[in-house]
Amino acid sequence: MDLGLEDRKVIVSGGSRGIGRAIVETFLAEGAAVSFCARDAAGIAAAEQALAGRASGAVVDVTDAEAMRAWVAAAGEAMGGIDIVVPNVSALAGGGDLDTWRRAFETDLLGSVSMVTAALPFLKASDAASVVLISSVSGREVDMFAEPYGVLKAALIHYGKTLSVRHAPDGIRVNTVSPGNVYFSDGVWGKIERETPEVFAQCMAQNPLGRMATPQEVANAVAFLASSAASFTTGTDLLVDGGLTRGVQF
């Protein structure tokens, strides 16, 4: 299937590793132009080198709305527009103290809002505008990552649906991908496997397919939803969870 992503202009936050890196690589493989941001300069340099300079990276703190606006504007100008926006950064925060809640709110929710808001003028000028938000199964069910992570991931699903209604007249499609357990060695599940193997084993056993997802499997869903192959799909939340969640979707 031709996804029709050739020459499309894409911005991705958190694009130096894990799911974000896989998203960047997938769009590049489809012939798109990609700009990405992350917090760590060394990680960005390593990613740019691994990608052989095919994508441009920048150091951006997504909780700094002005820095985000400046980066989006610069990326849009450098690429000659923006067609696809993928806010991917998460604080992965757990805990009940207010500082943790604030950090998660500013990163997971406001970081996505500021990125989309900054990109709206470019998206309105595009003939194939699409936003794909990255939520989580933790936004749908109460699990070990319930708060504040799960609460704010649930808010992202609502935000995506709201945007899809508001901007349908502008020709902007907005969808959400909710991954289940996604394993990569320097990610949260790699850390859990190393530090608390008994917890890792328990969580692994909850996956009906007997394994966790790869970042590439999430990236595939993102690319599909962003593409012309999904041109009549907007306002949906796509689970990529290997059957981990048990709730019936209506």
Looking at residue 130, which CATH number applies to its domain?
3.40.50.720
Catalytic-residue membership of 135:
yes
**Average pLDDT score over the chain:** 96
Catalytic-residue membership of 183:
no
Rounded to 5, what percent of the chain is helix, strand, coil?
A: 50, 15, 35
Within-domain flag for 198: no
Within-domain flag for 201: no
Within-domain flag for 149: yes
Within-domain flag for 112: yes
User: Which is the catalytic residue, given 114, 130, 149, 161?
Assistant: 149
User: Which is the catalytic residue, given 130, 135, 178, 227?
Assistant: 135
Within-domain flag for 224: yes
**Mean of the pLDDT values across residues 66-79?**
98
Within-domain flag for 229: yes
The conformation of residue 85, written as its DSSP 8-state character, comes to E
Query: What's the CA gap between 137 and 188, in Å, rounded?
Result: 15
Q: How many domains does the chain have?
A: 1
Instruction: Note the pLDDT tens digit of each residue in 235-246.
Output: 999 999 999 999
Within-domain flag for 236: yes
Q: What is the pLDDT of residue 146?
A: 84
**Mean of the pLDDT values across residues 88-112?**
94
Instruction: Note the pLDDT tens digit of each residue in 57-71.
Output: 999 999 999 999 999
The conformation of residue 105, written as its DSSP 8-state character, comes to I
Is pLDDT above 90 for 197? yes
**Mean of the pLDDT values across residues 145-149?**
90
- Put the strands of the sheet holding 55-59 in their side by side order: 55-59, 33-38, 9-13, 84-86, 130-134, 173-179, 237-240
Q: What is the pLDDT of residue 243?
A: 96
Catalytic-residue membership of 9:
no
User: Which is the catalytic residue, given 16, 56, 153, 159?
Assistant: 153
Of 137-141, 159-163, 220-224, the least confident: 137-141
Within-domain flag for 30: yes
User: Which is the catalytic residue, given 136, 164, 178, 227?
Assistant: 136
- Residue 177 belongs to domain spanning: 9-182+218-240
The pTM score is: 0.96
Sequence-ordered list of residues with C-beta below 8 angstroms from that of 135, at least 6 positions apart, any chain: 153, 154, 156, 157, 160, 176, 177, 178, 237
